[in-house]
Chain A
Amino acid sequence: MKLYYITNNTSSAVAISDIPVVEYVDLYNDLKERMKDVRYHVGHYFATEIENGLKFYLILLDDMSGEVYITSFVPDYYTQGLASLTAVHQQFHPFEREIHELYGVPFDNHPWLKPLRFPFDRRNRESTMDSYPFYTIEGEELHEVNVGPIHAGIIEPGAFRFICDGEQVLHLEIALGYQHRGVESEMVRNQNRLRQTLIAESVAGDTAVGHATAYAELLEKLTTVDIGDDLRLERLVAIELERIAMHLADTGALGTDIAFQLYQVVCEALRTVTINTSQAWCGNRFGKSLIRPFGSNHPLTEEKVALIRKNIADVRRRYNELRTDILESHTLLARFEQCGLVPKEEMERIGGVGQAARASGVVRDIRTTHPSGYYAVGISHMPVIKGDGDVMSRLATRLDEVLQSADYIEKVLSTYKPSGNIPAPNYEPALQGEALSFSLIEGWRGEICHVALTDKEGNIAKYKIKDPSVHNWLGLAIAVRSEGISDFPINNKSFNLSYCGHDL
């Protein structure tokens, strides 16, 4: 029997009737073996309510072939629990935890079946933020450090509990959910596509372009419209601008944490230039309003192309001076190297994605493995891979990716002639009914996956969002093990994960 429907990231949406409905036990046995090969990782795994129960959907990514495997099952979980996939492949842990938290589905032998984000529609109302079951270790020599939910800086809330032996961290557990706004249910409150676009932009404000592009591509796959290469190219410029801006912010934040002021202020200034370039393009420093389905309200003009090229060339030159100096500053290297190690095997085990995974030597970059948009037609992307998995590697991926993104922008814009043919956005397209549409985008933090299910009339009935942070928070917890607790800030900044993107 066929277990999966196989498609890819550029094909149109899949009719739900084409997705096999399999027996869980068959799927479990297949995944148990298949996932031993690191070429596969989970794109999304969720359950949705149907008449008399739940239907589960799994989207599996094959990083070697670029194929995407989709399957579904309708288990009888009332009479018998589901064998936990997390028990054999730990990258399933956030997905199974979410399903358990929302619907009470029991997963047998799940090693860590704790609440994920305390959503308003959780099954167990007794479970609250204050009753999060933190892991504890008994011992006279040990103490616990509780941080949060409100942190020392202007950042989002989350609770961190360290178990320390003196200065050394034995264990860190991160409890999230404070930022839960009900994003996925607001997405289907009504069918106002502009509202849905704006919700996508607000999933994580620092990844507004990434998430809005994911929403736009998902919607476009539910129609037969071809948006054209000009619009694809402009979206590439937008998302690479966002990548540069956020990598600059993180480079600067790492400088702040080691009191390297020159390095901090230079990044602040360069980030200002970059986001002001976005503002000059679309009126918003975070690129909100730039990405719209089927068209754009801010098509590039020749003046804007010239401005972007000039500013990005300047940012690239000045950042490169800083980059050279960073790589020669031995006090900085002494602090960052061999700190916060996440070895490649660990990263693969937890299903890490994005620049943090690449810093550990895992080749995971949607622009290469599952390219869509202009990456599929105009850019042959080579991911920046570092191997050490320490803070320095996570910084070094940023150092190189900023230059790479600047080069891509220059490459595509140097020959680009704005045609004036980019249409206005369309918020009332007829969508394919009874279909599953998904999109995969490499945001600056990593892999963004949006999934929608449509009903008979072509309305979006279910919307699921995965921010890369969902995979990577566990990576941060692993990184600080056995490090001094004072090294937590630089580890945290080196990942810079999203709280709101996780809590949704």
Chain B
Amino acid sequence: MKKFILIAVVLAAAVGFFYGEGAVKKPELLNVSYDPTRELYQDYNEAFKKHWKETTGEEIRILQSHGGSGKQARSVIDGLEADVVSLALAYDIDAIAEKSGLLPATWQERLPHQSAPFSSTIVFLVRKGNPSNIHDWDDLARPGIRVITPNPKTSGGARWNYLAAWAYALKKWNNDEVRAKEFVKAVYQNAPVLDTGARGSTVTFVERRIGDVLISWENEAYLVAATIGKDQCEIITPSLSILAEPPVAVIDKNADRHGTRAAAEEYLKYLYSPEGQKIAARHYYRPSSREIADKHAGQFSRVELITVRDVFGGWKTAQKTHFAEGGTFDQISRTQL
């Protein structure tokens, strides 16, 4: 038995050695991001590594972490040492600033377009041939339609979905909040599962084939329609949707501690460069650069877009009214039970 313990210890040491050796020491950036940006940042990180090498001569390694936006923000607050975050909505980065003080509350003013290098919106993904005959938000509230959307408590995309449905109802019933709440409740009563992140919902809809309609990020819907859902899904653009601006920010205190501030800032700035914008467009995000956006105009359908600021008075208010403890989402879920 002595021998056995000895072997185990030696083994542990050996494994530790190899593991340690595998991690080559070069400057590193950790980008903590939300769920559907996996493919985008895979491409972008390669481009940025090249750019960084060309401009500074330095090698850089970029680490990625993905998950529901709210959950990721929580992890950064709890000590996940992100150098930069790229989350689904401004409120989640506000929460990091407020609860951890790792970056200033004014972070959103540091980069153009409210720190959102690209935007997206919310669309529907339905089965090929649209068998459930879904054309607009009204159809999602129809009895018997199964709607797939993630949980607004943990997912950023889900909050955009929720607000888009709410905004549509407000417009339809002339800002009648009571009717809007009833409408959104009817939509969520049609939801058989609430995944924690947007990607989970996509897998539920496409791979597990549950549901008649997926409320989804536009970029995610296009990605699915172009790849794994090619012959089984199609995109429906509703009459009204929401301008979704997923923002980015350097987490100052982490970057300073790691000595990576210059790289972290350049990493985000490069997102606004023609190269960065092209990569975003290629992954079906709407570029903020007018020039690149015009080039890709044909790839997105035209839709009336409302903003969180105009309809909901900004993310802080929207979060408080709808998603905080006791907000409208809690109210409609509770009466459901």
* Chains A and B belong together in one complex: no
A residues lining the B interface (CB < 8 Å): none
Binding site for A on B (CB under 8 A): none
